[in-house]
């Protein structure tokens, strides 16, 4: 799954979502960043297949996770960024929920976090305000959806991606 952007054509292909998540998890583990990945029925997800451009999906997930890590770090308290993956069989989607308990997002931008280009709360880090818009475009281009919610001090991003079935449903997981 590891490929560089230089000379790499990110073509759409069927991949196990678990490979993408495992790559992300191992990179964060080696970088000393706090991230908790929760997968009910993890073994099933190692074989849950989605049709995607793997580098794009990985980039979108990493961006949201990095935002959460920045928010937790900025808050100055012990926080956590959690990634939860669930299979939604009835809708033929996989759901990826990324949440953090770091610094709150300003209420004036919560309702349009995916529509507000060039707005950033990270000027100090060189933020451009394009990251969440880019994430939404990536997820949308894969036939999925991304939602944002803020609840009881948590910032929650929920990504739904369609499962790729070959033949019957048993091939997906």
pLDDT given at position 147 = 92
Number of other CB atoms surrounding residue 31 within 10 Å: 9
Model confidence pLDDT, tens digit, residues 51-77:
999 999 999 998 888 888 887 877 776
Three-state DSSP state, 15: strand
Model confidence pLDDT, tens digit, residues 23-36:
887 777 766 666 66
CB of 96 closer than 8 Å to CB of 61: yes
- Segment 141-164 mean pLDDT: 88
User: CA–CA distance from 20 to each of 53, 59, 79, 168 (Å)?
Assistant: 11, 10, 24, 23
Three-state secondary structure of 32-74 = CCCCEEECCCHHHHHHCEEEECHHHHHHHHHHHHHHHHHHHHH
CA distance 36 to 53: 24
Three-state DSSP state, 21: helix
CA distance 114 to 133: 5
CB of 20 closer than 8 Å to CB of 54: yes
What domains are there in the chain, each with its CATH number?
A: 13-166 (3.30.565.10)
Q: What is the mean pLDDT of the chain?
A: 75
Q: Which range is least confidently modeled, 22-36, 91-105, 133-147, 152-166? A: 22-36
* CB neighbour list of residue 97: distance below 8 Å, 6 or more residues apart: 82, 83, 84, 85, 86, 156, 157, 158, 159
pLDDT given at position 101 = 83
Number of other CB atoms surrounding residue 116 within 10 Å: 14
Radius of gyration of the chain (CA): 16
Model confidence pLDDT, tens digit, residues 98-122:
888 877 777 777 777 777 665 655 5
pLDDT given at position 172 = 38
């Amino acid at each position: 799954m590891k490929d560089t952007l230089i000379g790499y054509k990110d073509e759409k292909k069927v991949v196990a979502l678990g490979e993408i998540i495992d790559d992300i998890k191992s990179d964060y583990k080696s970088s000393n960043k706090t991230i908790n990945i929760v997968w009910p029925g993890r073994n099933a997800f190692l074989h849950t297949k989605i049709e995607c451009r793997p580098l794009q999906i990985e980039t979108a997930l990493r961006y949201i996770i990095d935002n959460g890590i920045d928010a937790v770090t900025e808050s100055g308290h012990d926080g956590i960024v959690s990634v939860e993956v669930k299979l939604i069989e009835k809708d033929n989607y996989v759901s990826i929920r990324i949440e953090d308990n770091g610094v709150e997002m300003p209420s004036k931008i919560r309702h349009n976090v995916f529509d507000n280009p060039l707005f950033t709360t990270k000027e100090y880090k060189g933020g451009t305000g394009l990251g969440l818009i880019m994430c939404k475009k990536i997820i949308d281009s894969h036939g999925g959806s991304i939602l944002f919610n803020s609840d009881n001090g948590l910032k929650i991003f929920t990504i739904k991606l369609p499962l790729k079935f070959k033949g019957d449903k048993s091939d997906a997981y």
